[in-house]
Chains A and B, each alone.
Chain A
């Protein structure tokens, strides 16, 4: 059952991700990103990582994509199709991506081809909260400082200079 769910969500994720990178309209690409990230959240749910799935929807779909859409608006991104959105290098990029996929895929299949995931339920907020505040306290604090630094950096960067 979870395998079927995972496969469906994974297929949706791959299709939407392809549309994100080939779509000729920037805003459409951003909206396909919503579908891709939501489908990945579905994959997390099928792997019994419910809390990660919820955080994925909250942070990615709720915050990051909205931020991207705001940036598109602020940079006056055109809504009509742009053929020049993809560079002339795209065939080379496709070759690089395909070779990388082959190498990584072969490695993964050779290393983990016969392993199975047992269906367990360990993805509750309780388990993750225990883990964060038991074993990962220092990374958690460092991460909060990093978020603060990123916030200050973003504000400092986007501030207009007084003399302009």
Chain B
């Protein structure tokens, strides 16, 4: 298998995630796009691990990244629920409490 195939797939997935984070308004859909980006990173790690035939270092790092993603989504959704409880919406554009007024 050419190495370029998984790498290009990772690039495409990452950029779809970037688009989702920038274009979506609902915070939960933004978190879903984060997951897509983290998956692209994992794909890179696993692909390079298969390319450099060493003792599963890249796959170990991929497991670590999956664990980090679990921690991130847990905290992120707790913050989203807090936002919903305080404002009654989960709209990232409308959450302007910290905006700097001139």
User: In the complex, which of the residues A93, A115, A130, A153 contacts B22, with contact meaning CB atoms closer than 8 Å?
Assistant: A93
- The reply to whether B84 and A75 form a contact with Cβ atoms under 8 Å apart is yes
Q: Among the interface residues A26, A47, A157, which one has the most CB atoms of the partner chain B within 10 A?
A: A47
Please, which residues of chain B bring their CB within 8 A of the CB of A85? 24-26, 29
- The reply to whether A139 and B64 form a contact with Cβ atoms under 8 Å apart is yes
- The reply to whether A117 and B28 form a contact with Cβ atoms under 8 Å apart is no
Inter-chain CA distance A161–B9, complex, in Å, is 45
Rounded to whole Å, the gap between the CB of A32 and the closest CB of chain B is 9
- The reply to whether A20 and B32 form a contact with Cβ atoms under 8 Å apart is yes
Inter-chain CA distance A135–B47, complex, in Å, is 20
- The reply to whether B43 and A43 form a contact with Cβ atoms under 8 Å apart is yes
Is there a chain A Cβ closer than 8 Å to B98's Cβ? Answer: no
- The reply to whether A51 and B59 form a contact with Cβ atoms under 8 Å apart is yes
User: In the complex, which of the residues A18, A49, A119 contacts B59, with contact meaning CB atoms closer than 8 Å?
Assistant: A49
Is there a chain A Cβ closer than 8 Å to B95's Cβ? Answer: no
- The reply to whether B60 and A75 form a contact with Cβ atoms under 8 Å apart is no
Contact with B along A101-128 (1 / 0, CB 8 A): 1001100110011011111101100011
Which residue of B is nearest A136, CB measured?
B60
Q: List 28 A-B contacts (CB under 8 A).
A: A3-B1, A6-B6, A17-B12, A20-B29, A20-B36, A21-B20, A37-B39, A40-B42, A47-B46, A47-B47, A51-B59, A51-B63, A59-B70, A63-B70, A64-B70, A71-B77, A84-B25, A90-B22, A98-B15, A112-B3, A113-B4, A117-B2, A117-B51, A122-B49, A123-B56, A132-B63, A151-B74, A157-B78
Top 6 A-B pairs, shortest CB-CB distance: A93-B22, A21-B20, A150-B71, A97-B19, A93-B23, A90-B23
Given A60-B39, A115-B51, A128-B60, 11 other A-B residues pairs in contact with their CB atoms under 8 A: A2-B1, A3-B2, A6-B6, A52-B42, A55-B66, A75-B28, A77-B26, A93-B18, A100-B15, A116-B1, A157-B75
Task: Give the A-binding residues of B (Cβ under 8 A).
Answer: 1-9, 11-20, 22-26, 28-29, 31-33, 35-36, 39, 42-43, 46-47, 49-51, 53, 55-57, 59-60, 62-64, 66-75, 77-82, 84, 90, 93
Task: Give the B-binding residues of A (Cβ under 8 A).
Answer: 2-3, 6-7, 10, 13-14, 17-18, 20-21, 26, 29-30, 33, 36-37, 40, 43-44, 46-49, 51-52, 55-56, 59-60, 63-64, 67-68, 70-72, 74-77, 84-87, 89-90, 92-94, 96-98, 100-101, 104-105, 108-109, 112-113, 115-120, 122-123, 127-128, 130-132, 135-136, 139-140, 143, 146-147, 150-151, 153-154, 157-158
